[in-house]
Amino acid sequence: MQLKPSLTSAISRLTADHVPSPRLNAELLLMFTLNCDRAYLHAHPERELTTGEQAHYGAALAERARGVPAQYITGHQEFWGMDLIVTPAVLIPRPETEHAIETVLELVRVGRALLPANSIHVPTANSSPLSNANYIHLHIADVGTGSGCIALALARELPQAEIHATEISPAALEVARANAARHQLESRIHFHETDLLTGLTPETFDFVVSNPPYVGESEEDQVQLEVRKFEPRHAVFAGPTGLEVITRLIPQAHAALLPGGWLVFEISGTIAAPVQHLLQRWDDVLLIPDLQSIPRIARARKPLR
Ligand SMILES: C[S@@+](CC[C@H](N)C(=O)[O-])C[C@H]1O[C@@H](n2cnc3c(N)ncnc32)[C@H](O)[C@@H]1O
């Protein structure tokens, strides 16, 4: 069969199976099958698919039709401009999580004065505030690294930062390590298989960053079926209320941070009010909305004694 009719019939099949964005999914899986880009699909409508390619495409479509996210079929997801490997052992990185990266970078950019004094090392007197970020010897912890997306993005943006990434799932840690190697960042990130920040040196970090599990089991029926069925449960659900991991993370982050260091973590609108309450003894607490105006990132500064 030729490429164009294969694509048309795939779109009809995914539409009939109620897969959202059927054209996008059909194209993505065909690009994956043929190892090509979208321009190639449109430039070669008459290209014959081999029997092997047809079988491969059919199998990928069948997986997608039964609800498997396209990223688990292709094994890839983009985050912060980087192509990351994903397997069912890790949460598929979401665009909202990029707000956590932006928040950290903004805190670094807006002023060294806001950071603990001993993390500053500026080699020239006249370097601009933005370039200063490259010279600050920051210590950053990424808690629950999953695919490694947060740790990798920060390692790439802050070339002098030392990053420690923690994860409770050994299978997820393997994916994070593979991603670090793939992007030549393995020497910059120290991976730890541990519960939250257990075992990391206290009062060391300028930033603790996390996208922790924050969905409550009581909200389970509001979570997309695909997420519930295919993404790792311990990555999504924290416990009955959704606050269980964050409640433990906040005091651990307090112990791990230097005075004046920042805790930055992802939240949902549902838990925004209790999170604000949990942070009442911290300074400069701010809940930052995402593009849909939903509170998405909590940031707070450990008081300077
Ligand atoms: C919401 S996912 C986030 C993954 C990744 N950071 C991201 O943003 O896509 C939460 C991650 O935390 C890990 N996790 C859950 N409980 C943990 C714990 N107590 N200690 C360390 N990691 C934990 C899960 O295995 C999962 O990889």
How far does the centroid of ligand 1 lie from the alpha carbon of residue 167, in Å?
6
* Own/partner long-range contacts of 129-134 (Cβ < 8 Å, ≥24 apart): 133/105, 133/108, 133/109, 133/157, 133/158, 134/158, 134/159, 134/160
pLDDT value for 112: 53
Q: Predicted confidence band at 34 (pLDDT cuts at 50, 70, 90)?
A: very high
Per-residue confidence band for 263, with pLDDT thresholds at 50, 70 and 90: very high
3-state secondary structure of 224: coil
| Integer angstrom CA distances of residue 18 from 13, 26, 200 | 9, 13, 46
Please name the residues in contact with 66: beta carbons below 8 A apart, sequence gap of 6 or more. none
Average pLDDT in the 95-113 region?
89
* Crossing angle for the helix pair 149-157 and 98-110, to the nearest 10 degrees: 30
Tokens 């039709």, located at residue? 65
- Looking at the predicted structure, is the pLDDT value of residue 131 above 60? no
The pTM of the full predicted model, rounded to 2 decimals, is 0.92
pLDDT at 220: 95
User: pLDDT-derived band of residue 115, with 50, 70 and 90 as boundaries?
Assistant: low
Q: Is there a contact between 22 and 14 (Cβ–Cβ < 8 Å)?
A: yes
pLDDT at 230: 97
Distance 166 CA to ligand 1 centre (A): 8
User: What is the 185 CA–ligand 1 centroid distance (Å)?
Assistant: 20
Tokens of 275: 């999170």
Mutation test of ligand 1: which of 167, 214, 230, 252 has the most ligand atoms closer than 8 Å to its C-beta? 167
- 116 pLDDT band, cuts 50/70/90, is low
Among 1-10, 118-127, 246-255, the least confident range: 118-127
Whether 118 shows a pLDDT value over 90: the answer reads no
Asked if the model's pLDDT at residue 138 lies above 80, the reply is yes
Give residue-wise pLDDT tens across range 264-303: 999 999 999 999 999 999 999 999 999 999 999 999 999 9
Summary mean pLDDT of the chain:
93
Q: How far is CA 289 from the centre of its chain?
A: 17
Cα distance between residue 221 and residue 144, in whole Å: 24
Ligand 1 pocket, mutate which of 145, 173, 231 (most atoms under 8 A from CB): 145
**pLDDT attached to residue 110:** 87
Out of 18-27, 50-59, 129-138, pick the least confident. Answer: 129-138
Q: Considering Cα of 167, then 173, then 177, then 182, what sign does the dihedral take?
A: negative
How far is it, in rounded angstroms, from Cα 145 to Cα 151? 7
pLDDT tens per residue, range 179-227: 999 999 999 999 999 999 999 999 999 999 999 999 999 999 999 999 9
Q: Sign of dihedral through CA atoms 66, 68, 73, 74? A: positive
**Confidence at 305, pLDDT banded by 50, 70, 90:** confident
* CA angle (282 as vertex; 278, 285 as ends), nearest 5: 85
| Average pLDDT estimate for 247-265 | 98
pLDDT at 121 over 90: no
130 or 283, which is more confident: 283
Residue 145 CB–ligand 1 contact under 6 Å: yes
**DSSP-derived pairing of the beta strands 295-301 and 257-266:** antiparallel
- Taking the C-alpha atoms of residue 72 and residue 70, their distance in angstroms, rounded to an integer, is 5
- Specify whether the CB–CB gap between 33 and 60 falls below 8 A: yes
Token pair belonging to 18? 């109620």
The 3-state DSSP class for residue 240 equals coil
- Ligand 1 pocket test, pick from 99, 169, 243, 250 with the greatest ligand atom count within 8 Å of Cβ, gives 169
Q: Residue 270: how many CB atoms within 10 A of its CB?
A: 19
